[in-house]
Amino acid sequence: MRKKPRFHSLKKLKVRQDMSRWTLYSLSQLRQPNTTARTFFQQKWTAKADTRAYHGEQIREKKWARLFKRSIPAVVPMDHKYLARHDGSEQAAGRGAGADSQDKQRTPPMTPYMQMAYYPIERRLDTAIFRALFASSVRQARQFCVHGLVKVNGKKMPYPGYMLNPGDMFQVDPSSVMFATGAQKARSSTARRVAKEKAAARAEAREAQGGQTPRQPKPEVIVPSKGEEPTPAELKKHLQAMMDDVDGVLAEDVGAKDKQKFRAFRQTVKRAIGLWRSASPESISTLDTQFDFLKTQLAGRTSTPAARTPDAVEEPLFSEEDQAKLRQAFEKLKLETEHTSAWNNRNAAAPYATPWRPRDYMSAFAFIPRYLEVNQNICAAVYLRHPVARPGLAEVPTPFPIETGQLAFNWYLRRR
């Protein structure tokens, strides 16, 4: 059997969709196509071969040929002020309309349609993940999909060939993204020792459990109580628990290793909110909304009638200072999460070099095309629209000159 050619060959330089040094070298060695000494067919063939090595080389040629479309989307940015002040007839006005001298016509920059020949490939999920800088190559992005690390609109999407629709949100597991884009871990004796120790600890735990894997703690579910409104006694009990936890949180250091207090507070808040039926998961999803919800629900409420003495004034269950304290606790929660997230220190268990830094040569490949909107904090992105050509700009990132793009487009045009 014929040996498979090298993916990155120095003999035949190919630009690939990845962030490697070989690709960078090939990019630097790219030249304009030779159009003088070769036949048109030869030129088209070479252009096709070069561009296909970059655009969707993981897709079979037959599949790509079916994807190819000769009509390419384009837009023209319009000036609303001009549209408001002219109705378009001024462009047709000639000598008869009183136009005596011909003004110098300003021609728009050329719209590079044929640089967009491979725009259907940009719709693929694996390519979009690579373009959003969540993976270091399209092949890796593909692997992320297949391994179930990618979600589209919150649902697992194991097909790298899924064609994104405008408005689709895709997200990749952040630890995988940091592994893909981070510098590689150098093998060290410490890391190996840590891994061995961890494995030993796990084995020991299994032994202690009697050969069973340790049971994972189940995530707690908010169980809304039956009634529309909670009973005052219930309310008071939950409020007390919450305020106890507030003190715990306020006493806790943000950088503490043990996050138990923070976790407990999150749980009690959830449980307290779960008393109301009107609390839907959407209405209490963020810390701000949780706080507002609690404030509005508790502020006007008085303590239980049974506990009230006749001479005492009706005091609200949720006093001003309690509110201020709760606000502080929420602020601290937020701070704690951000601190944990930003905390970038040595960690032998991480699959990338720690402290995290971008991989070598990444900056040369770091760009995000306009048809994606990326939020790097949660490693999620939205596919806004299909890539378009506009005057002087083609949104499909392709390393080849316009001549090569035209030749490649013409190659596929022939078969339609």
Restricting to residues 257-286, name those near other proteins by CB under 8 A: 259, 262-263, 266, 285-286
Q: Site for other proteins (CB under 8 A): which residue of 119, 130, 318, 400?
A: 400
Of residues 26 through 45, those in contact with other proteins by CB under 8 A are: 27-32
Q: What letters, b where the CB count within 10 A reaches 16 and e where it falls short, cover 201-230?
A: eeeeeeeeeeeeeeeeeeeeeeeeeeeeeb
- As a whole number of angstroms, the distance between CA 413 and CA 409 comes to 6
Work out whether 250 is an interface residue with other proteins (CB under 8 A).
Answer: no
Residue of 196, 206, 327, 370 interacting with other proteins (CB under 8 A): 370
Q: Site for other proteins (CB under 8 A): which residue of 36, 37, 60, 96? A: 96
Overall size of the chain counted in residues: 416
47 binds other proteins (CB under 8 A): no
Task: Answer yes or no whether residue 185 interacts with other proteins by CB under 8 A.
Answer: no
User: Which tokens is 302 given?
Assistant: 């008085």
d(CA 134, CA 320): 46
Q: List binders of other proteins among 320-359 (CB under 8 A).
A: 333-334, 336-338, 340-342, 344, 355-358
Closest approach of other proteins to the CB of residue 31, in Å: 8
Residue from 144, 186, 185, 176 nearest 352 by CA: 185
Q: Which one of 67, 128, 177, 246 is in contact with other proteins (CB under 8 A)?
A: 177
> In the complex with other proteins, which residue's Cβ is closer, 38 or 370?
370
Say if residue 166 is preceded by a cis peptide, omega within 30 of 0.
no
CB 122 within 8 A of CB 396: yes
Q: Enter the tokens of residue 410.
A: 């013409």
Is residue 99 near other proteins by the rule CB under 8 A? no
> Whose Cβ is closer to other proteins: residue 166's or residue 197's?
166
Residue from 5, 88, 210, 255 binding other proteins (CB under 8 A) = 88
Q: Which stretch binds other proteins (CB under 8 A): 192-200, 220-228, 250-258, 366-374?
A: 366-374
Out of 243, 250, 317, 368, name the contact with other proteins by CB under 8 A: 368
Distance CA 299, CA 328 (A): 17
Largest CA distance in the chain: 105
